[in-house]
Amino acid sequence: MRFEWLATGRGPLAWEADPDDIPALDAELVHDPLERRLLQAFRCGGRETRRLLLGLADAQLASIQPRRA
- 45 touches 56 (CB < 8 A): no
Half-sphere exposure in the Cβ direction for 1 (13 Å, CA): 6
- Interval 25-65: pLDDT, tens: 566 778 888 988 988 898 899 999 999 999 999 999 999 87
Rounded to an integer, the average pLDDT of 9-21 is 71
Q: Determine the Cα–Cα distance for residues 60 and 43; give it in Å rounded to an integer.
A: 19
